[in-house]
Amino acid sequence: WKLGWRYQDNEDTGNINSMTSNHHFNGFFFDDTIHYYCSKTSYSGSGSWPRGNYCIMRYGSSCPSGFSSGSIYWDDEDSYNMNGKGGYVPSGTYGSNTRINYCCRSDGSASSYISLPTTDPFYLMRYTSSICQRVSGMTVREEIITTDDEDTSNNNSVSGSHPKVTGTSNHRLYYCYYS
């Protein structure tokens, strides 16, 4: 696992970024956002991802078996854009705007328990279900991030298989924190 970060310059005028209180994200969230990521950069372990209804962030050029690929595009602040990144981040495009690639699957029910390692907390993302995927031996809490994206000629978009997102000119994403 390797660490990376993304500084995302959100809307400057009347910014309305918001996030779930008492969240577990590693980063800074104010009028702009800084997300820290832990990316698994090589294959290890045994078995495969279980059937279910969830998304993960993609690292590399393709998704694991059983997942479909997609992305979310953020139209970040146009004026005096300060976007930056470092280290190992999910696959995507990180310039003056942000595109993150995801891997999603819906070949099982989110209400059925799946088996994943339980030694450390982690996040999955909601896909097509109205609830977070259940994971054996873990408690889950939904945490939501809303970013105030560019107000002028906003070009936010989604494509392919991507996590549940609401809003068009501002994105709201639904994360599932497991502990």
pLDDT digits (tens, 9 = 90+) for 54-87: 999 999 999 999 999 999 999 999 999 999 999 9
For the chain, percent of residues with pLDDT exceeding 90:
86
How far apart, in whole angstroms, are the C-alpha atoms of residue 11 and residue 76? 7
Integer angstrom CA distances of residue 93 from 45, 46, 89, 107, 122: 28, 30, 10, 28, 24
User: With 90 as the cut, is the pLDDT of residue 30 above it?
Assistant: no
Q: How many other CB atoms sit within 10 Å of the CB of residue 4?
A: 18
How far apart, in whole angstroms, are the C-alpha atoms of residue 20 and residue 37? 18
pLDDT digits (tens, 9 = 90+) for 114-166: 999 999 999 999 999 999 999 999 999 999 999 999 999 999 999 999 999 99
Integer angstrom CA distances of residue 48 from 16, 70, 125, 128, 131: 40, 20, 18, 21, 23
